């Protein structure tokens, strides 16, 4: 069964093509959806977000089967994310940019179901394409039950 993934934002074309090829993709380009069809929301297992269009508390609450959030940039309600990961409501998350970088919320540090990768600045098409591919490849690995490509040791 192909996992349903909600994407939010504007990704490089190769990333969008990869997401659409590997997942049942539901895309919102410009905004975080405030409401979703309940039948669709019940199927979403992954969330791919970029920039400031991330995983809000309200969006996480709409997605009862959400397992993984892969973020391309800033945009997560960190308090809601920590609560969802701590309670087991959300299975896993991977973050590279934090609200108060370089000072990370200490609630993240002890979570075994979170990958933290300090943000590495990028501005080239090649780097952005590679970042998008890595986000896609981590989603694929997760749903194929393989080890993630970028876990923190």
- Our measurement of the distance from residue 27's CA atom to the centroid of its chain's CA atoms, rounded to an integer in Å, reads 13
**What is the rounded distance in angstroms from the CA atom of residue 27 to the CA atom of residue 38?**
16
pLDDT for res 4: 93
Q: Which one, of 51, 49, 50, 100, lies nearest residue 79 by Cα?
A: 100
Q: What class does CATH assign to 4-143?
A: alpha beta
pLDDT for res 153: 43
pLDDT for res 150: 76
Rounded to a whole number of angstroms, the CA Rg of the chain reads: 14
pLDDT for res 62: 87
pLDDT for res 87: 93
pLDDT for res 66: 87
Break the chain into its structural domains and give their ranges: 4-143
Q: Which residues of the chain have pLDDT under 50?
A: 74, 152-153
Query: Residue 28: phi, psi to the nearest 5?
Result: -120, 115
């Amino acid at each position: 069964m192909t996992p349903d993934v909600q994407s939010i934002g504007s990704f490089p074309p190769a990333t969008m093509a990869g997401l659409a090829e590997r997942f049942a993709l539901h895309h919102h380009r410009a905004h975080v959806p405030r409401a979703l069809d309940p039948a669709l929301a019940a199927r979403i297992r992954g969330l791919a977000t970029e920039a400031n269009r991330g995983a809000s508390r309200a969006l996480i609450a709409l997605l009862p089967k959400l397992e993984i959030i892969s973020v391309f940039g800033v945009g997560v309600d960190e308090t809601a994310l920590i609560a969802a990961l701590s309670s087991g409501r959300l299975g896993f998350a991977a973050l590279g940019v934090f609200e108060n970088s370089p000072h990370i919320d200490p609630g993240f540090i002890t979570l075994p179901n979170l990958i933290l990768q300090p943000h590495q600045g990028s501005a080239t098409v090649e780097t952005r394409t590679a970042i998008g591919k890595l986000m896609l490849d981590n989603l694929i690995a997760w749903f194929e039950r393989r080890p993630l490509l970028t876990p923190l040791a």
